[in-house]
């Protein structure tokens, strides 16, 4: 009997011990996520990325098993690699294959700044990359908010002269010290900011200062649009990858199919919109496809935002007031660029979130988008110049044959 009791007691002790060992295994293996959050995103844009000032995105997805999946979105490709991670004090230490696609992060320490931010050194060894918490719901809500801001900004710019002067004449000067803190050092963003503002300034002059009947003023309106396209084309052609070249060609076709600019006029009815009656819906769509492809290739950090920026004037010109696409494009682009510089500086200093939404990306997908962009613009180019040289145009499709499509 004593042997039986001993066996029972021994079994009980063994089972009791195994219970605690097994129960403890998850606790031993699991780690508390950095900042109690799994997904952290960091972005860079400027000369530290490449000489053209392109953008990139680091997307970290930490797991409790001690691994982290990292995706690095660049101009024409997305790199992926899994690392091990551990905490040393408040800092994160990564370990993994140094010869992997993102091998520069192997044995890298991601330094704790505060509960909302970490940072690590870029491959140049000098630039700090800050990563912040990403919460997809709020990122998508931010896009909705941005769309509302652009639509409302366009409408109040149409109806209130004083708002136009405040937004496009005063704020771009007053906010310069704030914008200097936004972290943009690439030439493209700064040129885009002030060329967009200049477009809105001239649009305001065209509407309210009696220059709408001048041929030179109409030429300047066309020139602003052409320069807007040329800036991006130059960026594409300065890159070595095939999708950039293809989309650059699409941008050139977009420029040379600008037509009917002599018909640009001021609407005599209030609110005195600047109208381009001969600008066709087909050209607008070809321009939109080319433009979003350009941003998708070169600035993976702002693709989702740029889609909204293109959607807003398209909606305004098709469903709110036809013929106002260029006016709406000028206003919404200027508002977006000022918002981007202002909000980035604000977010970097005040918020604990990033609103960047990484998009699907691969070399094949980038190439497909570039080819679609080229296809749209080649189609319009062929139909437009067929009409110009032969007088023949599709019966139910405007390709420039009409002085007004309103």
Task: For residue 345, name the pLDDT band (cuts at 50, 70, 90).
Answer: low
Summarize the confidence of residues 291-317 as an average pLDDT. Answer: 95
Task: For residue 180, name the pLDDT band (cuts at 50, 70, 90).
Answer: confident
Residues in the chain: 406
Q: What is the pLDDT of residues 22-69, one digit of tens each?
A: 344 333 345 689 988 999 999 998 888 988 889 999 999 999 999 999
Per-residue CA distances from 313 to 44, 78, 266, 308, 330 (Å): 28, 30, 18, 9, 9
Contact in structure between 60 and 193 (CB atoms under 8 Å): no
Considering only residues 190 and 57, tell me which one the structure prediction assigns the higher pLDDT: 57
Q: Which phi and psi angles does 237 have, rounded to 5°?
A: -70, -20
Structure tokens at 221: 């309106």
Task: For residue 349, name the pLDDT band (cuts at 50, 70, 90).
Answer: low
Paired with 88 in beta bridges are 91
Paired with 134 in beta bridges are 354
What was the pLDDT predicted at 7?
Answer: 40
Q: How far is Cα 178 from Cα 172, in angstroms, rounded to an integer?
A: 10
Summarize the confidence of residues 358-362 as an average pLDDT. Answer: 94
What was the pLDDT predicted at 11?
Answer: 42
* R_g (Cα) of the chain, nearest Å: 27
- Structure-token match 């066309």, residue found: 222
Summarize the confidence of residues 142-146 as an average pLDDT. Answer: 94
Structure tokens at 325: 């696409």
């Amino acid at each position: 009997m004593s042997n039986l009791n001993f066996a029972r007691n021994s079994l009980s002790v063994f089972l009791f011990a195994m219970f605690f060992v097994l129960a403890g295994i998850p606790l031993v293996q699991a780690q508390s996520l950095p900042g109690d959050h799994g997904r952290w995103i960091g972005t860079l844009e400027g000369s530290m990325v490449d000489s053209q000032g392109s953008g990139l995105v680091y997307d970290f997805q930490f797991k409790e098993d001690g691994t982290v999946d990292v995706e690095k979105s660049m101009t024409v490709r997305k790199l992926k690699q899994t690392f091990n991670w551990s905490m040393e004090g408040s800092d994160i230490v990564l370990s993994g294959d140094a010869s992997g696609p993102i091998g520069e992060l192997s044995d890298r320490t991601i330094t704790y700044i505060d509960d909302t931010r970490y940072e690590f050194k870029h491959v140049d060894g000098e630039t700090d990359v800050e990563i912040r918490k990403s919460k997809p719901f709020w990122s998508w809500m931010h896009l909705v908010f941005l769309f509302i801001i652009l639509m409302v900004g366009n409408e109040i710019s149409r109806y209130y002269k004083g708002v136009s002067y405040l937004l496009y004449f005063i704020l771009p000067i007053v906010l310069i010290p704030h914008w200097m803190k936004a972290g943009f050092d690439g030439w493209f963003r700064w040129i885009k900011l002030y060329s967009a503002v200049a477009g809105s300034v001239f649009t305001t002059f065209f509407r309210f200062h009696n220059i709408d009947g001048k041929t030179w003023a109409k030429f300047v309106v066309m020139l602003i649009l052409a320069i807007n396209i040329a800036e991006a084309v130059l960026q594409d052609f300065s890159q070595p990858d095939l999708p950039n070249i293809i989309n650059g060609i699409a941008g050139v076709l977009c420029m040379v199919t600008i037509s009917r600019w002599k018909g640009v006029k001021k609407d005599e009815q209030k609110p005195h919109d600047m109208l381009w009656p001969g600008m066709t819906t087909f050209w607008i769509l070809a321009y939109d496809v080319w433009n979003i492809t350009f941003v998708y290739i070169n600035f993976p950090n702002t693709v989702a935002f740029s889609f909204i920026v293109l959607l807003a004037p398209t909606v305004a010109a098709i469903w709110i007031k036809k013929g106002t696409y260029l006016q709406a494009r000028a206003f919404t682009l200027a508002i977006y660029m000022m918002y981007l510089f202002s909000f980035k500086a604000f977010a970097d200093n005040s918020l604990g979130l990033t609103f960047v939404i990484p998009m699907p990306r691969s070399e094949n997908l980038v190439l497909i988008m570039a080819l679609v962009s080229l296809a749209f613009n080649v189609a319009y180019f062929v139909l437009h110049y067929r009409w110009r040289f032969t007088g023949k145009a599709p019966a139910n499709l405007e390709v420039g044959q009409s002085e007004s499509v309103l």
